[in-house]
Amino acid sequence: MSRGGRSDSGIWLRWCLVLFAVVSALGVCGPALYWRFKKGIAIRASNSCPPCLCDCPPPLSLFQVAPGLVNLSVSDCGGNDPDLKEEMEKQFVDLLTEELKLQESVAEAHSRHMNITFAEAKRVGAQYQREADKCIAATETCEQAREQAQAKFIKEKKMTLVWERRARQMGWEGE
| 117: CB partners within 8 A, 6+ apart | none
Rounded-to-10 torsion of CA 118, 124, 130, 133 = -90
Q: What is the pTM assigned to this prediction? A: 0.35
**pLDDT-above-70 percentage for the chain:** 77
What is the distance in angstroms between the CA of the first residue and the CA of the last residue of the chain?
A: 40
Mean pLDDT of 18-28: 89
Quote the CA–CA distance of 88 and 81 in Å, as a whole number: 11
Check residue 49 and report its DSSP letter.
S
pLDDT score recorded for residue 117: 95
Residue 46 has pLDDT above 70, yes or no: no
Chain Cα centroid distance, residue 82: 49
- Domain extent listing, the chain: 1-44, 106-169
